[in-house]
A = this chain, B = another copy of it.
Amino acid sequence: MGEGRKGRRPGNPDTQGQILEAASREFASRGYDSATIRGVATAAGVDPALVLHYFGTKEQLFVATLHVPVNPAAIVRGILDDTEPGQMGERLIATMLGVWDATAHRNPLIAVLRSVAGEGPVADTVRQFIERSIIAAFAERLPGPEPQLRAVLIGSQVAGLLLARYVVRLEPLASADPRRLAAIYGPTIQRYAYGQLPPVDPQEASSGVHSP
């Protein structure tokens, strides 16, 4: 992977780009869970400390390879740690829309969607990232029972909103005021996060209706 480079090179204008290229290859070949900062550094022919200097964490390095404007997991952590629970849903939607509206002209979501709709190792890597990073950030912070299910329910509504607004661009949603959308979607997120979920029907609980 290292293109034959052995020496440790200091930072220069295209070092970040070389690290990103090496990271894309490493994530694609090893998956999100198994890829390491050290492995990326070796493949890029730089010191691991330089990778950390530029990108901070493995999570941030992966987000950088997706060319998305923000780390969604960091947004989730920030909002759940700093917002009172009654405001969480509305604030989450408002923040997500604020971020994606600002980059709608280049629409980085489409590339992410293409990756996740693929069947190869890249799709698995994106899936692992979504589970380990975004969904986990929710699940660790939700107080009620079944936090993992609640996290995925929230994810399903946020993803569907992003898909409809930025990818399929369905009107009048695509040009709706983001504050109004936050008020509309907020209560849905609140219910998934903190509301009572209907019980599992004991008659059905063990019948395994869907197997992927």
- Does residue A119 face the partner (Cβ distance < 8 Å to B)? yes
B152 and A156 contacting across the interface, CB-CB below 8 Å: no
Closest CB of chain B to A116's CB: distance in Å?
6
B156 and A164 contacting across the interface, CB-CB below 8 Å: yes
B170 and A155 contacting across the interface, CB-CB below 8 Å: yes
Residue in A119, A146, A176, A208 whose Cβ sees the most chain B Cβ within 10 Å: A176
Contact with B along A171-200 (1 / 0, CB 8 A): 111111111100110011001100001101
- Copies per assembly: 2
Contact with B along A89-114 (1 / 0, CB 8 A): 00000000100010010000010011
Total interface residues in chain A, CB < 8 Å: 62
- Does residue A131 face the partner (Cβ distance < 8 Å to B)? yes
Complex A-B: 9 CB contacts under 8 Å:
A135-B170, A152-B171, A155-B170, A160-B161, A175-B211, A178-B210, A179-B201, A180-B198, A184-B197
Give the B-binding residues of A (Cβ under 8 A). Answer: 97, 101, 104, 110, 113-114, 116-119, 127, 130-131, 135, 146, 148-149, 152-153, 155-161, 163-180, 183-184, 187-188, 191-192, 197-198, 200-201, 204-205, 207-212
